[in-house]
Amino acid sequence: MADFFHMGGYAIYVWSSYGVALVVLAGLLMASLSGLRRKERMLATLEQTLPRRRRRSAAAPSGDEAGSTLHHGTTGKDKRADDATKGGDDADGGSDGGGGE
Amino acid sequence: MHRFANPARFLRLAALVLPWVSVLSAILFTVGLYLALLASPEDYQQGDTVRIMYVHVPAAWMAMFTYSSMAVAAACALVWRHPLAEVYSKAAAPLGAGFTLLCLVTGSLWGEPMWGTWWVWDARLTSVLILFFLYLGYMALVDAFDDPQRGHRAGAILLLVGAINVPIIKFSVDWWNTLHQPASVLRLDGPAIHGDMLWPLLILALAFKTYFAATVILRMRAELAERKIQTLRLTQAGGV
């Protein structure tokens, strides 16, 4: 075991290489994940404040996790069914969704 | 190709792929690290420092792969206005910069004990350093415009111009007399490296690749959400 950590006398070079790799890869992954969460949360609150959007997201199950909002917003079929039942002013909402599709 | 130009379809596909590549990446890293650190032999000349290779070489491959894919995406963005191409380039750039930095740092940590120097201005090292600056330049340029479209256009042109650096990196060890050794895996007469060392290298290379796939999907989703936010803000500002 001591041999393993000793790395034939090159411990500092070998272990700092693997350490740097861990820091860079884990750091980028964490930053990407937290960035995604932050933006999805921002998108969710923004969609709530827009009146035209509120009705549509109210049709989706309430208490949405921030993470799943994007999926709800983009799963296509359910939303299109939603739009169809509401008719009228959803012409705009429909084309909006279409733009994202 | 245009079938996949559709962000909603991409998001559905990404949701399918993401769990698989994440699990695969975790498995590959576990197996690869076990082989690299424990099961593989030390080099008869380099001793245990050869284990740095298992990080250094996959990082270098990914640095080149990421840049090349970004350059192809830039061409698609410029020629076909492929909407996901810009999203991809922007999402991949920080990852590519990370791989390049990792390659440079581990190379330095390997160079000190084996070459007796942290750094030399030889062709391979210098061209990889330029690659690192290309990534940083692209990231700065894309965000430097008020109009995101102009930023993406400028960034795509930079990526295409900088693509000349990729073959220079690849062949620098053959064209110039460098301190850096020439290729020992990707060569015409087959790998000049023993299987006991080749396997951990290839497995960790795949681990890096699946890690990249998973992370770039997360970043692309974030970028698509960001675009939606911008659109909503514009409608909000214009509609009230």
Report which of B56, B105, B44 is spatially closest to residue A8, judged by C-alpha positions: B44
pLDDT at residue B85, as a whole number: 93
A47 to chain B, closest Cα gap in Å: 8
Res B185 pLDDT > 90:
no
Residue A94 is assigned to a structural domain of this protein? no
Check CB contact under 8 Å for B221 and A36.
yes
Report which of B186, B67, B168 is spatially closest to residue B126, judged by C-alpha positions: B168
Question: B238: pLDDT confidence band, cut at 50, 70 and 90?
Answer: confident
Question: B160: pLDDT confidence band, cut at 50, 70 and 90?
Answer: very high
Give strand ranges (E) for A14-65.
Answer: none
Alpha-helical segments (H) within B81-147? 83-115, 123-142
Res A79 pLDDT > 70:
no
Residue A99 is assigned to a structural domain of this protein? no
Question: B239: pLDDT confidence band, cut at 50, 70 and 90?
Answer: low
Check CB contact under 8 Å for B55 and A10.
no
Residue A44 is assigned to a structural domain of this protein? yes
Residue A33 is assigned to a structural domain of this protein? yes
Res A89 pLDDT > 90:
no
Check CB contact under 8 Å for B52 and A53.
no
A38 to chain B, closest Cα gap in Å: 9
When pLDDT is averaged across residues B25-37 and rounded to a whole number, the result is 94
Counted across chains A and B, CB pairs separated by less than 8 A come out at: 113
Res B177 pLDDT > 70:
yes
Among B47, B55, B98, whose Cβ lies nearest the Cβ of A28? B98
At A60, the amino acid letter reads A
Res B49 pLDDT > 60:
yes
Residue A52 is assigned to a structural domain of this protein? yes
Q: How far apart are CA B86 and CA B143, in angstroms?
A: 13
- Total domains, chain A: 1
Check CB contact under 8 Å for A101 and B6.
yes
Q: What percent of chain B has pLDDT over 90?
A: 68
Give, in order, the Cα–Cα distances in Å from B100 to each of A24, A31, B85, B163: 10, 18, 21, 15
For A35-47, the pLDDT digits (tens) are: 999 999 999 998 8
Question: B3: pLDDT confidence band, cut at 50, 70 and 90?
Answer: low
A55 lies in which domain range? 2-75
For A7-37, the pLDDT digits (tens) are: 888 889 999 999 999 999 999 999 999 999 9
Instruction: Please state the ipTM of this predicted complex.
Output: 0.90
Report which of A59, A67, A63 is spatially closest to residue A85, judged by C-alpha positions: A59
pLDDT at residue B64, as a whole number: 96
